Structure 1
Amino acid sequence: MTDAPSPPALDAETLAFAGRIFQFARMGHAEELAELFGQGLPANIRNDKGDSLLMLAAYNGQPDAVRVILGAGGDPELANDRGQTPLAGAAFKGEVEIVRMLLDHGAAVDGSGEGGRTALMVAAMFDRTEIVELLLARGADPDRRDAGGKTAAEMAQAMGAQATPGLLAQAPRRQP
């Protein structure tokens, strides 16, 4: 067996450029990102924490950047190193427009990272009623359980959410 070659060392200029790209996503610099995609920048590059450009834009509430990244082929299912998807990140931050955009571009409504926590669970925990309603309308399963065996309603109750446990209790159930 041979040792895999080590990745090339990156110089300070390359590292600074990479840092700017990820900052463009965080700050919503959609035009700059579009220009870089036009020059061949891959839409699914990730930083040292596994955050994709789409994850950073979605989490930071940057709908124009999200639109550009999705248009360049950004993967709405690409989870970071903590198992968080862009959909869950947008749900956590209460970004309804971005949640809708991600769903419209193929994000799995019940998609989850390694811990099994879905966007519905995250939205319910933080009492994001509009997002819970949207996810349920798009087919999210209110009875799905995370890796620890908890449902969205159980998580919402544990976090002290006021409105979402009732919404989840009234949600239509999937037929077995």
Structure 2
Amino acid sequence: MSELASTGIEATRRRLTEKQADTVDRLTAAAIDVLSREGYSGTTIRLVAAAAGVGTATAYTYFSSKEHLISEVYWRRLIAAPPLETDDADPAARVVAVLRQVSLLVADEPALASAVSSALLGDDPDVRHLRVRIGTEIRGRLAAALGSTDSESLSMLELLYSGALLQAGMNILSYEQVADLLEISARRLLADRHT
């Protein structure tokens, strides 16, 4: 299982004291447990709060919705996975490594993976904020791997990634299949762009 990262003193809704950060950490950890038992549709802030040992009102102080909470779990997984550092001279190999890393973040936890796909599509303003943060982080990692600021290639790679994860989230493809198809697609895209 991937490690959750504490976001430190800053969360998406407010700055946190050490005690508050601990509460948020407990809520995000409890969310994973509740999701594995109840699935996405059965998961509620109330159940997560109870599993974390905090009041429901306290949980809502930090998370506006279950979608916000689940999106935060994914955000923490992403930032816990350090950017890849590779000496590979081939930009395509570096891009593929990044795509594999981010596409497999929740692959070993089917309930969480499915929930993340649903949650990130939500219209909650806090989810939109996290979507931007997640997108910015992934774009930065792809740009570093690509070694250029070719915005057209970056946009195409982002589209490949988001479309592939949507397919995995809908259970059309496994996350492993997504990672393999992303590799083929990214290599083809980058070869076509540089010929």
| TM range, smaller chain | 0.3 to 0.5
Higher relative contact order (CA 8 A, sep 6+): 2
Per the normalisation by structure 2, the TM-score is 0.31
Per the normalisation by structure 1, the TM-score is 0.33
Q: Which has the larger helix fraction?
A: 2
